[in-house]
Structure 1
Amino acid sequence: MSVDMFWRRVDPGVVQGLEPAELRTLVPYWYDDRFQQETTARITVGAEDTGALIGELLRLGAGDGPDAYGAWLAVDGADGLGGDHMVGVLTPEEVAKATEFLSRAEPAALMQQLRPKLAVAAREMGYKRAFDDEWAQTVVADTQDLTELFRLAGAAGEAVIVAMVA
């Protein structure tokens, strides 16, 4: 199983009324010329093969308490993400809620605390690869990049497009 996730900051007016296929064109993929430029500019974040694990780390870290909604929003809560095109949009209000949770989450500490549970989740998701130190570090780094993207989007009142490639 492989789940790549992409998040892109965008002015909310740009995405208003767009169809999923149109939204998809706004999010660069690994081999798109824009991807590296937008990553460097902290407009886009990509998580290769760690998207579902980032979501699991955040959800486990949030638990069933008041942070659960913000954790869910950051990875899986974009309106339209569950559709055929696997692309959706978080409104500025949803971005603010996710940012609020992410600003308190500490990915490295969560990984240290929850790594055994994340390893079980990876197996249950169908990953064949062992959940080793390198993979755990990649999930933490990707989560930190995601946190920074949401911090910037929240501060600017932006929407975030979320795209999943499985």
Structure 2
Amino acid sequence: MSVDHFWCRLPGQAVDTCSPEQLGELVPRRRDVRYDRLAAAGLALGVRQTPVLMELALTENGLHPDPTARLPVYGGTRREPGTDMPVLRPEQVAAAFLFLRDSALGELVRQQDTVLARTVAELDYPTPWSESWAARVVGDLRELRDFFAGAAAAGDAVVVREAE
């Protein structure tokens, strides 16, 4: 199970001026040279295997009833029903960043240890939940926080895509 999950920064106005197809062309579908260039410029971020775990760490068990907790990983608005790419407008990007900045990410992962272990087992990941997994999820959440910090500072929108 090696699903990639991507976030891509775009100028805020691109959300209104691009069609869903055009947005799709701007966001990586897989890790490749194009993704590497965008990531090196701070315009894209990708994770493998951890997005479901990241989402659960941020939202499970009512620790964060604020809907902002759902924005960073799978949040945003789908431009058209049935499309697979949620879009976070600049104000949502700023809210997601503030949420991530103000959250004790390591503590959130630790508090969800049982839920995350059960999820790893249910999804048939190749190794069971462990300290190594926890460190990876925390690391990915910190990278996501830093990615959103740059996007919020620039007034960018963010498009989210799971690998096809």
By the TM > 0.5 criterion, same fold?
A: yes
For residue 86 of structure 1, give the secondary structure of its aligned residue in structure 2: coil
C-alpha contact (below 8 Å) 1:70/1:100 kept by paired residues: no
C-alpha contact (below 8 Å) 2:117/2:129 kept by paired residues: yes
For residue 8 of structure 2, give the secondary structure of its aligned residue in structure 1: strand
Normalising by structure 1, we get a TM-score of: 0.84
CA 1:30–1:5 in 2, change beyond 3 Å: closer, same or farther? same
C-alpha contact (below 8 Å) 1:20/1:88 kept by paired residues: no
* Map 1:78-157 → 2, pairs under 5 A: 78-80=76-78, 83-124=81-122, 126-129=123-126, 130-157=128-155
For residue 58 of structure 1, give the secondary structure of its aligned residue in structure 2: helix
User: In the alignment, residue 53 of structure 1 is paired with which amino acid?
Assistant: L
> CA offsets, 1:2-25, max 9 Å, x none?
542111111011232433332121
Aligned residues: 163
What 5-or-longer segments of structure 2 have no aligned partner?
Answer: none
The separation in 2 between residues aligned to 1:82 and 1:122, in whole angstroms, is: 31
C-alpha contact (below 8 Å) 2:20/2:80 kept by paired residues: no
> CA offsets, 1:19-68, max 9 Å, x none?
33321211124433221122122211101121111111111387243xx3
> CA offsets, 1:71-113, max 9 Å, x none?
1011122211895441121001111111111111122222223
C-alpha contact (below 8 Å) 1:21/1:85 kept by paired residues: no
C-alpha contact (below 8 Å) 2:20/2:79 kept by paired residues: no
C-alpha contact (below 8 Å) 1:61/1:110 kept by paired residues: no
CA 1:149–1:128 in 2, change beyond 3 Å: closer, same or farther? closer
In percent, how many aligned pairs have the same letter?
A: 32
CA 1:73–1:103 in 2, change beyond 3 Å: closer, same or farther? same
User: In the alignment, residue 7 of structure 2 is paired with which amino acid?
Assistant: W
C-alpha contact (below 8 Å) 1:78/1:90 kept by paired residues: yes
Root-mean-square deviation (CA), in Å? Answer: 2.3
The separation in 2 between residues aligned to 1:48 and 1:136, in whole angstroms, is: 14
Question: Which residue pairs with 1:14 in the alignment?
Answer: 14
* Map 1:152-163 → 2, pairs under 5 A: 152-163=150-161
Q: Work out whether 1:45 is the aligned partner of 2:61.
A: no
